[in-house]
Structure 1
């Protein structure tokens, strides 16, 4: 299974994600799927090795605490949450508790992310 996302945001509201399909297959087969994508570190570690990067030299940017940020944390990378997806300012605390992790930085939107990256690069 690539990721456990039950829901994905779209212009028309939330849609079923890969986790919904995985839950259906788990229920039908009685077998636990192998998770290779977020929040597992398997693909993250592979990408870091392939790029020749140490985890501490890479940042994971995403809009979902339970998958994107949890994957970055599992791989030992820095993390930035952008509040443009499933995780919002209103549900942040509940999702952080549910995910068991917190990002290193939070940006409200992509413009704020761009400013954050620009400021980070100038250091």
Structure 2
């Protein structure tokens, strides 16, 4: 038995499907397949962090070693994977490391990551 959806429900469903399809496309794409992209995810002290953009912060002292998690968002492309790597974790002045840390090869290159 098949039940037809009311017109309003069909319109809502079509809008959601369109939004999902558009959200998957890369900005400026013109019909070509959008390139996949890994999120910058870091593991430190049994917590998982993700990068944060456009936030001013001051790097504090060295905490230890963090791990940038591996990513393979293009499994059929042997050159598309990013291997796991070690990186230095730094304190952020005024923030508890259980909330956010900075990671980078040097304090000057460090980027802010927060717990997800």
TM-score, normalised to structure 1's length?
0.19
Structure (1/2) with the larger helix percentage = 1
Larger radius of gyration: 2
TM-score, normalised to structure 2's length?
0.19
Structure (1/2) with the larger strand percentage = 2
